[in-house]
């Protein structure tokens, strides 16, 4: 049955209890990119408490990943044979490395129930490999490639009885601040600098997260149109909240007014910020109302007033022509570099 277009209520739940409101995660396999710190690590912790069978902490730095895994073991969250965490190498600064990482994963696992694209770069100002900004490589292009390469395994899992396969893409509410008009007609549009604007670095980051939102909507629409996918695959776009770890490398939040700024921004600790990611990845509500969450290119959710609150997207984020331009430019870029 095709998803209906009935609009989701802004808030269809009054609270979210991670001990009571999650689906059974036993036997499930999950990937969390950037799961070695911040929101990613807290997401891994909650999934372990839910007894997720295998969690792959996908990150570039093996040492930091293993340190995180050791800390999880010390907390008593890892249970051999029941709830385990493994490092999986993933370098999002190069789309070719992202593809190789996904191909390696497919070789060692026979299922993938949840993919959480959590890793992000907020601060790079440089033009990375292939003449594209590192921000867009890490925040849009490489997750695009990583997910696309994993789709056959996700689809295979979705065909199993009682499947509940999800892709959770973390974005930022900052996307709404991207100056308009926005263009993704050429690769050069990925390198926009906003040098004439205050907080240009934040706007560049927001631009890359807008791209992730547009791609997420494209992906959900594609998957809904696919046949023989069983219960289908649900793509969820998540703003986890402005977490305290956000300010570590964000100078404008340090200084005399930093405390006031954090209050005004509603900053939360990572263990709170992860809750919307967990809601998207494992809540019973998403499973029970799957068709509504998949309708019209999927939904965008924030952390307030409660985790998983569905919010209306801006006209830019729902611009179908902009979405098509983005996908065409991304695909042409990948073709040009041999992917």
Catalytically annotated residues? 205
Cα gap 70→249, rounded to integer Å: 26
Name the residue with tokens 């895994």.
69
Which alpha helices (DSSP H) does the chain contain, by range? 38-49, 62-74, 95-108, 134-136, 142-158, 200-225, 258-265, 270-273, 275-282, 284-288, 290-294, 320-336
Which alpha helices (DSSP H) does 75-141 contain, by range? 95-108, 134-136
Cα gap 151→109, rounded to integer Å: 13
Find the radius of gyration of the CA atoms of the chain.
19
72 near 85, Cβ under 8 Å? yes
Cα gap 141→323, rounded to integer Å: 14
Name the residue with tokens 């200084």.
255
What is the residue-wise DSSP string for 245-280?
GGGTT-GGGSSTTHHHHHHHHT-B-HHHHTHHHHHH
Using a 10 angstrom Cβ sphere, with 0-12 exposed, 13-18 middle and 19 or more buried, the burial of residue 78 is: middle
Nearest in space to 146 (alpha carbons), one of 226, 88, 217: 88
Q: Quote the distance between the C-alpha of residue 117 and its chain's center.
A: 3
């Amino acid at each position: 049955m095709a998803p209906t277009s009935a609009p989701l209520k802004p808030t269809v739940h009054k609270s979210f209890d991670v001990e009571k409101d999650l689906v059974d995660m036993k036997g499930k396999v999950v990937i969390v990119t950037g799961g070695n710190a911040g929101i990613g690590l807290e997401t891994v912790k909650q999934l372990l408490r839910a007894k997720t069978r295998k969690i792959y902490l996908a990150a570039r730095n093996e040492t930091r990943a293993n340190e995180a895994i050791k800390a999880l073991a010390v907390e008593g969250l890892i249970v051999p044979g029941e709830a385990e965490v493994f490092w999986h190498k993933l370098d999002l600064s190069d789309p070719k490395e992202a593809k190789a990482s996904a191909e390696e994963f497919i070789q060692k696992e026979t299922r993938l129930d949840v993919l959480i694209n959590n890793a992000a770069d907020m601060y790079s100002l440089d033009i990375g490999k292939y003449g594209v900004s590192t921000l867009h490589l890490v925040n849009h292009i490489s997750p695009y490639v990583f997910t696309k390469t994993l789709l056959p395994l996700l689809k295979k899992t979705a065909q199993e009885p009682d499947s509940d396969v999800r892709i959770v893409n973390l974005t930022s509410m900052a996307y709404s601040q991207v100056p308009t008009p926005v263009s993704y007609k050429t690769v050069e549009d990925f390198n926009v600098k906003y040098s004439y604007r205050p907080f240009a670095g934040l706007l560049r980051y927001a631009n890359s997260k807008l791209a992730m939102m547009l791609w997420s909507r494209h992906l959900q629409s594609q998957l809904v149109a696919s046949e023989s996918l069983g219960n289908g695959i649900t793509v969820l776009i998540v703003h986890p909240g402005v977490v305290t770890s956000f300010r570590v490398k964000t100078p404008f939040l340090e200084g005399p007014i930093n405390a006031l700024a954090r209050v005004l921004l509603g900053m939360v600790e990572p263990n709170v910020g992860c809750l919307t990611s967990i809601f998207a990845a494992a809540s019973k509500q998403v499973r029970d109302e799957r068709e509504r969450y998949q309708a019209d290119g999927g939904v965008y959710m924030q952390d307030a007033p409660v985790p998983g609150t569905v919010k209306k997207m801006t006209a830019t984020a729902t611009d179908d022509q902009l979405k098509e331009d983005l996908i065409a430019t991304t695909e042409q870029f990948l073709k040009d570099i041999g992917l």
